[in-house]
Structure 1
């Protein structure tokens, strides 16, 4: 079973395509923490993930709303962006635990801002720039995470 996966992404199109491959590998509910600097491609990858599950339309960053829900045929996908979160306790007030269900995929940008409140991730995904391309690294933290990495 794989615990670590790494790939080079040459441009935004490959980042979107990788997100689609990642969603295709998720056959059961998954929680993915997205790490990386501002502009590293976290929302771009999330767009590919959500579109890979059948969403047609715009995928936007939930920077101001904290969460964007996507109701799809087989899944609910919740895209969190905690960059502007003032206090992790705010997550309790919004009912954060209700989002992590047996029919949902949760992708969380800036998860360190919700530390102590968020559930542990199945996968820690890090995007970083190297010259003009991105490197994506995935660390599986659970058996579910390992299964996803094996399918990639």
Structure 2
């Protein structure tokens, strides 16, 4: 599915719509350049899951955990990881077993751990406009996004 957003608010709203289709156990695998809108999309995911906490980029912590909604959200940033082995070293399998949603920025750095993920590719067309392609994970045009 292809979407075009024209502001950070619209990107967040798309993330919120996706969140409302999730049941737990999903991996959202983001790709996109710096400043493309991955964290904005994740803020929308959190809002759609009913999480009241402020969402920030986990660049220096690797993972931020958000609770208080209908599902927990685990927000990963793989920018500084060199391989999937490092991901498994920080307890990736434990996060998967907790039944929440794993939102993974820079997922291409750990691609072999992203089987079955919902792919969210964000392209920056201009300062405000983004093209966002969402596919995989069993989603189709009838998914309600």
CA–CA distance in 1 between the matches of 2:41 and 2:5?
Answer: 11
Root-mean-square deviation (CA, aligned residues, Å) is 1.9
TM-score, L = length of structure 2: 0.89
1:8 is aligned to 2:1 = no
What is the count of residue pairs matched by the alignment?
Answer: 144
TM-score, L = length of structure 1: 0.85
Deviation of 1:38 after TM superposition, in Å, equals 0.6
Deviation of 1:28 after TM superposition, in Å, equals 4.1
Q: Larger strand proportion, structure 1 or 2?
A: 1
Kindly tell me: are residues 34 and 45 of structure 1, through their superposed partners in 2, closer, same or farther at Cα, counting changes over 3 Å?
Answer: same
Structure 1 runs (4+) greater than 4 angstroms displaced: none
CA–CA distance in 1 between the matches of 2:50 and 2:96?
Answer: 20
Q: Secondary structure at the match of 1:39?
A: coil
Kindly tell me: are residues 43 and 73 of structure 1, through their superposed partners in 2, closer, same or farther at Cα, counting changes over 3 Å?
Answer: closer
**Which residue number in structure 1 is paired with residue 132 of structure 2?**
136
CA–CA distance in 2 between the matches of 1:151 and 1:139?
Answer: 13
Deviation of 1:10 after TM superposition, in Å, equals 0.6
Deviation of 1:119 after TM superposition, in Å, equals 3.9
CA–CA distance in 2 between the matches of 1:146 and 1:66?
Answer: 30
Q: Secondary structure at the match of 2:20?
A: helix
CA–CA distance in 1 between the matches of 2:59 and 2:4?
Answer: 26
